Structure 1
Amino acid sequence: MSFINKTNILIKKNNNDLYYFDLDKDIVFTKISNKTNTLISKKLFDGDYSFVDIWLDTNEKDNIYGVINDKKGKILNLTLEKDNVDTHTIIKYDYKNFIIKFPYTKHIENIKHTIYCSINKSIPLLANLIHIYEDDNIFIKNTIDFIDFNILSNFVVAYSNNKPIIFYFKLVDNFEELFVSIFDLNSYSWSNPIQITKSNKNKIYLSVLQDENNNYHIAFSENHDNKYYCKYINISLENNVLKINQESIISKDVMCLFPSIIKKNSTLYIQWVEYFDLFICQSDDFGMNWSKPIIDKNISNKPFIRYQYISDNITSIFAPIKHLS
């Protein structure tokens, strides 16, 4: 059996009900009841979508909300209550001349943060990383950074005292390097980007997890002589000052796909795909040392895919395409 290169979305609510969003021909959600194990399916949107077009999360009332690019000139806020979807337009764009990728949103009390990449079709290797701040009285749209790229990868947003912190790749001397920028809630502006890596090697597939000590555990794929190694970095940010605590190469095999960091109690795990198998390694000292990678045979023996899974301790997971419950 093997990995199927597809990413869906999985949300677990407080009552342990699972909401599974299949992104393919249309967006279809399936609710798996924790009490009865019954399945309820419903189509939300028509058309071809992938994980670069939609983002979902849950609010303090445990309702599902998110943002979607309809690919027809609108970025929409969406809410899912009692299994019904409601949408309204955040912003309109010229879809004949621009492409939108990786829409993201986070609602904290009465504040909404929306971030996305906007690409002018006439300059296809340059993205404008845009942030929209909304509260009851303010709507501010600004540019975090201009990102030139070889391959556009995802960005990751973390929060410190409700302040968004964004991690992303951009080219330096024609190589993707990792950057971070921090939002100021008083001035409604972003800091000058801070460069984290200076390896002169291309990078892709970013995963970031923040721990209780405000350290950031980062994993990505890095090109070494046309082999994509699994790379790990542990950093801290204090008063916008970067400190690199640890930097390790986890795996040196040919291709590391979709590395993902998971935290359980005081143990860190990194999962990734190589040769269509799922590999995993762990650290019991907050990323200072890592075990030898092994194949997760429980998953690799079945057809499996990647799921975006939003929580404080997980960025994404891999699971069998069937028997999800």
Structure 2
Amino acid sequence: MSFINNCSTIIRRSNKEMFCVHYDSGIVFDYYNEHGNYVSSKKIKENRFVDFTNSYFTLDKYDNIYGIYNNNGLKMIDVPKYSNSINEKPILDYDVNKFNILFPYIHTVDDSIHIIYHVFNNNSSNSSALLHHYRHNGLWVENKIDFVNQVIADNFIVIWVQNSPIIFYFNLVNGYEELFFSRFNSSTVTWSNPIQITNNKKNKLYLSVIKDNMNFYHIVFCENSGNGYAVKYINGYLNENSLDIDTSTYITGPSTCMYPSFIKEKSKLYIMWVNYGRLHTSYSTDLGKSWSEHTIDDSSLEDDFVRANFFSNFESDNIYNVGSVFTIHDDIGLLGF
């Protein structure tokens, strides 16, 4: 068995009810009760082109599940707390003959809505505008965060600090992907000028970022190194105009590495990634200064597995700080740690 390049979403409410959102010629919500027993499934859209590159799902602190997907316009989905009923409404239209949207992201803060996405001209698939729509007090404001060029379209990562987003993303500089960040100022409703973090003239893919409770940022991605892509880890404190890098190191040598991601459990930091269709894990107990030998999860040898975003309000899950996770295909058990 091997890795399947897809990404589902696992959501656990505070009462331990779970939803697994995945794709099967459309968006499917699988509902599990508080005992972990499967109850029902509902497909909300019959569309074989909808997948993790054009949809996103999460939950708020009140156990309301919500999300967004692109289907000739952005649609918003919500599943109110204490319910498994799914509601849908259009939220943003655009000219589908001229443009396309990838990696839509949505986040609600009280009565405000933030939507971020890449918008591409259909005649230029490697160049996009990274746009932000902000709804506050009933009014929408649109901001351009940056114009982005990438050899391969890749996701961005949003970290929230005091109800304001910070976005991390790759952009080409002299033909190489370098890492940038920008901050949103909710007072002026504007984004800072993009700030470049890396400048080593090496192509990069598969970004993942988490911030721990000490305001320390952990960043991992795959970086071209000779005849393959290696897992690269950096960390540090984020200042107003720079990342004060403390550690920068390769976790692996060049190979076929894909989709590195974090799980931080108290003081133990795990990095998991896919290589040759198998799930590898390494961990650090000293804030990334040294790393364990790689291990391969046995389940990734025996079963098909996929990536999954993971969001939870369940109290026992609070010890985990998660980027994304890996899980058995058609199951919800977590792998790799």
After TM superposition, the score normalised by the length of structure 2 is: 0.92
Equivalent residues in 2 for 1:146-161, closer than 5 Å:
146-161=147-162
> Identity across aligned pairs (percent)?
37
2:55–2:103 Cα contact (<8 Å) kept: yes
1:157–1:167 Cα contact (<8 Å) kept: yes
| Superposed displacement of residue 253, structure 1 | 4.0
- In structure 1, how many angstroms separate the alpha carbons of the residues matched to 2:168 and 2:325? 20
- In structure 1, how many angstroms separate the alpha carbons of the residues matched to 2:221 and 2:142? 29
Q: How many residues align?
A: 323
- In structure 1, how many angstroms separate the alpha carbons of the residues matched to 2:260 and 2:115? 25
2:8 paired residue number: 8
1:299–1:319 Cα contact (<8 Å) kept: no
304-313 vs 263-272, which moves further: 304-313
What do the CA deviations read for 1:251-300 (whole angstroms, capped 9, x no partner)? 11411111001111111000001011100000101112211211122443
1:129–1:146 Cα contact (<8 Å) kept: yes
Relative contact order, CA 8 A, sep 6+: which one is greater?
Answer: 2
- In structure 1, how many angstroms separate the alpha carbons of the residues matched to 2:208 and 2:156? 8
| 4+ aligned runs moved over 6 Å, structure 1 | none
Q: SS where residue 310 of structure 1 aligns? A: strand
Q: Is 1:86 matched with 2:90?
A: no
Equivalent residues in 2 for 1:73-112, closer than 5 Å:
74-81=73-80, 82-112=83-113
The one-letter code sitting in structure 2 at the alignment partner of 1:318 is: F
Instruction: Report the CA distance shift for 1:28/1:291 in structure 2 as closer, same or farther (over 3 A).
Output: same
Q: SS where residue 124 of structure 2 aligns? A: coil
2:10–2:332 Cα contact (<8 Å) kept: no
Structure 1 unaligned segments of length 5 or more: list them: none
- In structure 2, how many angstroms separate the alpha carbons of the residues matched to 1:201 and 1:121? 27
After TM superposition, the score normalised by the length of structure 1 is: 0.95
What do the CA deviations read for 1:215-238 (whole angstroms, capped 9, x no partner)? 111111111123000000102112
Q: Is 1:22 matched with 2:30?
A: no
2:227–2:254 Cα contact (<8 Å) kept: no
The one-letter code sitting in structure 2 at the alignment partner of 1:78 is: I
1:55–1:66 Cα contact (<8 Å) kept: yes
1:4–1:305 Cα contact (<8 Å) kept: yes
What do the CA deviations read for 1:190-248 (whole angstroms, capped 9, x no partner)? 11111111110111101101101111111111111230000001021123342111111
2:135 paired residue number: 134
2:42 paired residue number: 42
| Superposed displacement of residue 185, structure 1 | 1.1
2:188 paired residue number: 187
- In structure 2, how many angstroms separate the alpha carbons of the residues matched to 1:95 and 1:9? 26
* Superposition CA RMSD, Å: 1.5
Q: Is 1:167 matched with 2:168?
A: yes
Q: SS where residue 231 of structure 1 aligns? A: strand
2:197–2:242 Cα contact (<8 Å) kept: no
| Superposed displacement of residue 87, structure 1 | 2.2
